[in-house]
Amino acid sequence: MLDQVRKVTARFNSFSRTSISTRVLLNLLMTKTNLNSNPACVFDIKQYSELDQKPQLQITFKDNHVMSIKPEKYPPQDLYQSIFKYTKRLKHLEDIGR
């Protein structure tokens, strides 16, 4: 899935309840299969020290589209599905030659 992704940027406090979706999503994205599909994909992960900071998540795709997500509002599976749908669309456009 990461073959269409250039960069994943995550900012969160690992002890905050609002960061659960971010942590689980990163766990879903950083599997061996995904990392092997695109070794050039960069993961920029920073942890806040303040508990009141809201998590931030940005995905940069090969077409330079940046998807900014508020992970505290959605479950991790929904976030994963939205990223997967966009990468599938990019792969389809790449296959037909656009």
Kindly list the domain boundaries of the chain, sorted by start residue: 2-96
- Over range 43-67, report the average pLDDT: 91
Give dist(CA 82, CA 44) in Å, integer: 20
Q: What percent of the chain has pLDDT over 90?
A: 64
pLDDT at 14: 86
Give dist(CA 80, CA 26) in Å, integer: 9
Does residue 58 register a pLDDT over 90?
yes
Q: What is the CATH number of domain 2-96?
A: 3.40.30.10
- pTM of the model as a whole: 0.84
Both structure tokens of 80: 């994963």
pLDDT in tens, 5-53: 999 999 999 888 888 999 999 999 999 998 999 899 999 999 988 878 8
